Amino acid sequence: MFDTSHLSRRQMLQFAGGAAVYGALPIITARPAEATPAMLASAIRDLVGEATVKVGKVKLEIPPLVENGNTVPMTVSVDSPMTADDHVKSVHVFNEKNPQPNIGNFHLGPRAGRAKVTTRIRLADSQKVTAIAQLSDGSFWSGSVDVIVTLAACTEEVP
């Protein structure tokens, strides 16, 4: 699958016409307004490939009822001794209903001492947030949490 984003419209149409002759259809993806479960699954697959993701070890702490979806405190932690032989290499956080499936990737290692990262995220709607950790032995572990997001009562103009 090659990157079509740099082609002009004319080139794309020419290609489409040409490809039809050869029997291969190019896929032109317009930017979707919101993520679909397929995008989320695809993003996770980009990370783990064909490996199985086991459920466990990963804890996501997000307030179950969020006051404002613009700034949501999130802590992701992984149960790991964080030694040179047994540690978390990276933690990847995904969501299902924002325009994009990725939230953040955090690269750790034995120097971290504790696999725990806190940040603030944006959630467009009530949804599930999933975190997948890659351990030093190559295994993948995941944890999820369901979050309810309320919105501000009044919209306003920008000042």
Partner 1 sequence: MASALVNVPPKAKKGAVIEIRTLMSHIMEPGYRRTAAGDLVPRDIITSFSCRFNGEEIFRADLFPAIAANPFLSFFTVATESGKFEFEWIGDNGFVANASATITVEA
Partner 2 sequence: MMRLRRLLLGVVVLTAVPALAAEIPPAERRSGYTFMTWDTKAMQDDDTANPGMLAVMDGEALWNAKAGETNKSCADCHGDASVSMRGVAAHYPAFDKPLGHPVDIEQRINLCRKDHQKASPFANESRELLALTAFIGKQSRGQPITSGDDEALAPFVARGHELFMQRQGQLNLACTNCHDGNWDKHLAGAPITQGQPNGYPEYRLEWQAMGSLQRRIRSCMTGVRAQAFDFGSPDMVALELYLMSRAHGMAIETPAVRP
Q: Which residues bind partner 2 (CB under 8 A)?
A: 63, 65, 67-68, 70-71, 73, 150-157, 159
Q: Among residue numbers 78 through 117, which ones bind partner 1 (CB under 8 A)?
A: 95, 98-100, 102-109, 111-117
At closest approach, how far in Å is the CB of 91 from partner 1? 10
Per CB under 8 A, 144 contacts partner 1: no
Give the C-alpha separation, 143 to 129, whole Å.
9
Does 57 contact partner 1 by CB under 8 A? no
* Cross-strand pairs, 88: 135
Choose the contact partner of 65 out of partner 1, partner 2, none; CB within 5 to 8 A by kind.
partner 2
Nearer residue to partner 1 within complex by CB, 54 or 146: 146
- Residue 115 has a CB neighbour count (10 Å cut-off) of 25
Contact present, 74 and 62 (Cβ < 8 Å): yes
- To partner 1, the closest distance from the beta carbon of 104 in angstroms equals 5
Handedness of CA 121, 124, 130, 136 (dihedral sign): negative
Give dist(CA 129, CA 58) in Å, integer: 12
Q: Which of 96, 117, 116, 118 is nearest to 40 (CA)?
A: 96
Give the residue, chosen from 39, 40, 66, 72, that forms a contact with partner 1 under the rule CB under 8 A: 72
Q: Which does 42 bind (CB under 5 to 8 A by kind): partner 1, partner 2, none?
A: none
CA pair distance 111, 85, nearest whole angstrom: 12
- Which residues contact partner 1 by CB under 8 A? 70-72, 95, 98-100, 102-109, 111-123, 157
